[in-house]
């Protein structure tokens, strides 16, 4: 029999809003840098431990934290509190109105220095918040549940000519689940609540030049005064899921949509949270006689919750991308991208210049690999999993499409499994095998923006799914 232990939990929050003026990351066509703050960006840190194994969950109002910055921060957090850095999960809410990180694209001064200083400051902030959460941990109980909310719509719309665009596909696969974890002290007082859903945080579109957590902000504003404790959002398998209202076009109505989606997420989280009991339960029924016989129940304390299973694991895989073209094709493409860049730079559209620069950078990188004799290249990806009794959390350093999350939840050996993307880095979209015959941005165009030398192959999703399930089964 495994040793029985007590759960400990602590939570802390840091404001991670950067200085105004850093370029925003999320919309390549965006014309301008940050000019204001719609809501503060935050990092909420939840520490969970059984006294032997510990994990740190960090929910961030960022697109994601790229490698190698993510590895550096995880190592620093682990060093500060005395746990393995691989037991730290950094999950980005995937807001498209957070700061750009150094290395995403070539930058001139002072933008380059702004981004670098912010990345260094972010590490200090997260280490500080994790240390504070560690110091405040206390005996706790945990319960989890699941609701649903109509936050999103599958965005892979097939046009009459067969082209797949970013639109609306109401019949496409989607996970409308809202997963909730309630963490209370032994008296039933809230320590924190975790909420997870799968939907792109793009209600505020590319014309917005403000830092914003998108609809996660209004959700927190509803939840936290109601329960008196911090809420932690973890983004799910949202690769092909956009908000049901669409990407904001820049008008005032997008802020109304922001509020509405936030209320949906926050309201459903509160509904599930309120149904979860950690410190007491309904006892045996009694019959009380008045004018009529009345059935009644008293509440009795819950038996001390013990942790029989608490473990964390991660694996790093290096699957191959699709084969690279020959040198002649790579050179022809590079020349085409060079001409397109020159044309864009001669125009007035900053968005067109951004796109042309990105495409040229991708083509130049691929040409360099082909010229060096590479036929096939691989890309590293991290899979992460945690188990606390019957609850599992699995994550991937990518943008998984909804089909991956649905399949992992369906086949998981644990009673309740949450599946996350945008965690500990992000290498790009992972489509299911059937998407490759359809094409579309998640299959084709996305590897340009992520600077992948070529597309993923249809082998990636089955590898990720099977390995994740193997990890969950082994915990």
Distance CA(50)–CA(317), nearest Å, equals: 29
Distance CA(24)–CA(182), nearest Å, equals: 33
Q: With respect to CATH, is domain 327-371 assigned 1.10.287?
A: yes
Mean pLDDT of the chain: 96
Does the N-terminal peptide bond of residue 110 adopt cis geometry, omega within 30 degrees of 0? yes
**pLDDT reading at 398 higher than 80:** yes
Question: 206: which residues sit within 8 A by CB, 6+ positions away?
Answer: 26, 27, 29, 30, 31, 96, 247, 250, 351
How far, in Å, are 103, 144, 315, 349 from residue 334 at the CA level?
Answer: 21, 52, 35, 22
Return the pLDDT at 212. Answer: 98
| Tokens, residue 266 | 């926050």
| Tokens, residue 54 | 């510990």
Check residues 276 and 108 and name the one with the higher pLDDT.
Answer: 276
Each residue's pLDDT tens digit, 416-431: 999 999 999 999 999 9
212: closest CA among 22, 23, 39, 25? 39
**pLDDT reading at 1 higher than 60:** no
Q: With cut-offs at 50, 70 and 90, classify the pLDDT of residue 255.
A: very high
Residue 269, burial from CB neighbour count under 10 angstroms (0-12, 13-18, 19+): buried
Each residue's pLDDT tens digit, 327-341: 999 999 999 999 999
3-state SS class at 48: strand
Is there a contact between 216 and 202 (Cβ–Cβ < 8 Å)? no
Each residue's pLDDT tens digit, 188-237: 999 999 999 999 999 999 999 999 999 999 999 999 999 999 999 999 99
Structure-token match 């990092």, residue found: 43
Return the pLDDT at 351. Answer: 87
Is there a contact between 245 and 259 (Cβ–Cβ < 8 Å)? no
Return the pLDDT at 475. Answer: 94
3-state SS class at 219: helix
Return the pLDDT at 304. Answer: 67
Give φ, ψ of 409 to 5 degrees.
Answer: -65, -40
Distance CA(106)–CA(101), nearest Å, equals: 11
Which residues does residue 158 pair with via DSSP β-bridges, in sequence order?
164
Q: What percent of the chain has pLDDT over 70?
A: 99
Each residue's pLDDT tens digit, 340-389: 999 999 999 988 998 899 999 999 999 999 999 999 999 999 999 999 99
3-state SS class at 332: helix
Count CB neighbours of 340 within 10 A.
Answer: 16
Return the pLDDT at 31. Answer: 82
Return the pLDDT at 2. Answer: 53
Give φ, ψ of 229 to 5 degrees.
Answer: -155, 160
Give φ, ψ of 335 to 5 degrees.
Answer: -65, -40
Where do the structural domains in the chain lie, given as residue ranges? 8-277+379-474, 327-371
**pLDDT reading at 66 higher than 70:** yes
Check residues 304 and 392 and name the one with the higher pLDDT.
Answer: 392
Is there a contact between 321 and 457 (Cβ–Cβ < 8 Å)? yes
Average pLDDT score over residue span 316-322: 97
């Amino acid at each position: 029999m495994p040793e029985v232990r007590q759960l400990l939990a602590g939570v802390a929050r840091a404001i991670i809003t950067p200085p105004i003026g850093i370029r925003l990351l999320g919309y390549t066509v965006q014309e301008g840098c940050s000019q204001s703050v719609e809501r503060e960006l935050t990092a909420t840190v939840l520490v969970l431990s059984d006294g032997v194994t510990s994990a740190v969950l960090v929910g961030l109002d960022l697109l994601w934290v790229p490698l190698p910055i993510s590895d550096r921060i995880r190592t620093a957090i682990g060093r500060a509190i005395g746990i393995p850095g691989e037991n730290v999960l950094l999950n980005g809410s995937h807001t498209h109105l957070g700061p750009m990180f150094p290395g995403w694209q070539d930058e001139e001064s002072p933008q380059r220095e702004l981004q670098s200083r912010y990345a260094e400051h972010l590490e200090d902030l997260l280490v500080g918040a994790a240390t504070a959460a560690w110091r405040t941990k206390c005996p706790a109980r945990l319960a989890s549940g699941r609701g649903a909310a109509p936050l999103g719509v599958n965005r892979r719309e097939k046009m009459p000519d067969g082209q797949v665009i970013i639109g609306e596909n109401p019949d496409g696969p989607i996970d409308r689940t809202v997963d909730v974890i309630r963490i209370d002290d032994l008296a039933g007082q809230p320590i924190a609540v975790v909420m997870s859903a799968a939907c792109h945080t793009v209600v505020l579109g590319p014309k917005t030049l403000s830092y914003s957590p998108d609809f996660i902000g209004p959700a927190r504003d509803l939840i936290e005064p109601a329960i008196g404790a911090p809420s932690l959002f973890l983004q799910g398998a949202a690769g092909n899921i956009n908000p049901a209202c669409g990407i904001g076009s820049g008008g005032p109505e997008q802020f109304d949509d922001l509020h509405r989606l936030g209320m949906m997420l926050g309201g459903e989280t509160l509904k599930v949270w309120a149904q979860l009991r950690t410190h007491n339960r309904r006892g045996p029924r009694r019959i009380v006689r008045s004018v009529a016989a009345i059935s009644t129940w008293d509440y009795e304390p819950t038996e001390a919750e013990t942790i029989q299973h608490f473990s964390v694991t991660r694996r790093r895989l290096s699957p191959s991308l699709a084969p690279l073209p020959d040198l002649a094709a790579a050179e022809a493409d590079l020349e085409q991208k060079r001409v397109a860049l020159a044309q864009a730079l001669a125009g007035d559209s900053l968005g067109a210049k951004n796109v042309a620069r990105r495409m040229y950078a991708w083509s130049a990188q691929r040409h360099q690999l082909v010229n060096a004799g590479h036929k096939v290249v691989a890309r590293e990806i991290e899979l992460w999993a945690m188990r606390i009794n019957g609850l599992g959390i699995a994550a991937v350093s990518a943008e998984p499409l909804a089909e991956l999350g649905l399949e992992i939840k369906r086949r998981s050996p644990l009673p309740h499994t949450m599946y996350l993307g945008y965690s500990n880095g992000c290498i790009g979209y992972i489509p299911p095998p059937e998407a490759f015959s359809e094409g579309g941005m998640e299959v084709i165009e996305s590897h340009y923006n992520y600077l992948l030398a070529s597309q993923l192959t249809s082998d990636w999703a089955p590898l990720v799914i099977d390995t994740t399930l193997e990890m969950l089964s082994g915990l």
